[in-house]
Chain A
């Protein structure tokens, strides 16, 4: 709010995938510079879990930097229902003027099985360990539905490992707290399961700043190194992202990691056909922390 005048910014319909959401991350500077107080969501037709959590971080960063909560206005009904159901709106990050009629809210019973709602992953070890155990208990209860199209006896255990490894990175390395969400959804005839875990901490490059041999590498190459080599910023060696990458390779899935101004995309399905499968970028708009999206397609 500036001198009592509310500035509203219309968000483009760019919440369909991790790459499209870059357009919204690119607006973060504008939100701060123009002292935007409301985000107009009227143009959104769809929002997937990575975009949802990134939007949540964007709002949290704004709140931390300015002490003000951004408002969300003109939310389309389907988006409003989804955000309410995923506990996005109860995270305390955004102000929402219009409340949904109780009758319009998604009933938990019919939708619950395919999602894990927005879950806080605290920045302190003790609380975080409890939160991770809680998330995994929920995942185990719902896994048969979340992984309906991929189910074999081992995939649930693989995902338990993935959730555990990535969430532990938040309190071990990011110096911040973060969020997790998971969902199965369909795009046309394609089924997608997406696990999203992110924080707005110091980012991967900074967490490795003490490792001299990595200092000269571009951010995306540090991410690549973390995905392909058992390196650790705290110990002589580590396992987390490298282990996650090995598991997702077995499942022929994909990993997208964004940290600071860099990103790495790994498409394991393409690796099998011999095509390029690792795509690195270092020209993204700055956005604090590390955002990870892990997907299986079927």
Chain B
């Protein structure tokens, strides 16, 4: 499903193009979650920031961080992909993620539709191997554990562990039931 932030902001009569402050983040989050009430398990949510110029760290904290935490359960599992991110949005999201990692001892990242300023299709701190795997999945749409093991020159159980880690971060999807060992891009 697609969440168009501009439309939500317009419905809530929030002045554009900048989405700043915690209260604005909370309002957008609540409306977006309401719109996601019919989400199915494993669905990808494209969060489209077209028409938005700046989101500050308070907004990121109240909106995006909460969405990512929600995507990891305990309810329905879903995957977030960001579209139309400006350079300042990327800077501010990255800054919040860095703080989150430092203080929670827990990793966080999000997939992007377009190439970011860091020359990647995600924002957040990943290892080089994880980055390679995400790129491979993005290009090939899906891959088996054996393919990934070959890509990163590791044993299959190590590749599986890496893919499961990306799944836990909601950066890669598990293949359909029965497709054991298959992982898909977000």
B133 within 8 Å of A (CB atoms)? no
Residues of A within 8 A of B102 (CB): 230, 237
Residues of A within 8 A of B87 (CB): 154, 157
A161 within 8 Å of B (CB atoms)? yes
How many chain A residues have a CB neighbour from B under 8 Å? 26
Residues of B within 8 A of A154 (CB): 87-88
- Dominant secondary structure of chain B at its interface with chain A: helix
Task: Find the A residue at minimum CB distance from B15.
Answer: A133
Which of A125, A236, A237: most chain B Cβ within 10 A? Answer: A237
Known: A157-B88, A161-B88, A165-B56. A239 touches B95 (CB 8 A): yes
A165 to B21, CA, bound (A): 8
Task: Find the B residue at minimum CB distance from A172.
Answer: B22
B112 within 8 Å of A (CB atoms)? no
Task: Find the A residue at minimum CB distance from B24.
Answer: A129
How many chain B residues have a CB neighbour from A under 8 Å? 26
A137 to B17, CA, bound (A): 9
- Dominant secondary structure of chain A at its interface with chain B: helix
Task: Find the A residue at minimum CB distance from B89.
Answer: A157
Kindly supply a per-residue 1/0 record for chain B positions 39-68, scoring 1 wherever the CB is within 8 Å of any chain A CB and 0 otherwise. Answer: 000000000000001101110010000000
B99 CB contact (under 8 Å) in A129, A157, A239:
A239
User: In whole Å, how far is B98's beta carbon from the nearest beta carbon of chain A?
Assistant: 7
Which of B15, B56, B86, B96: most chain A Cβ within 10 A? Answer: B56
A168 within 8 Å of B (CB atoms)? yes
Q: List residues of chain B with CB under 8 Å of any chain A CB.
A: 15, 17-18, 20-24, 53-54, 56-58, 61, 86-88, 91-92, 95-96, 98-100, 102-103
Q: List residues of chain A with CB under 8 Å of any chain B CB.
A: 125-126, 129, 132-133, 136-137, 140, 154, 157-158, 160-161, 164-165, 168, 230, 236-240, 242-243, 246-247
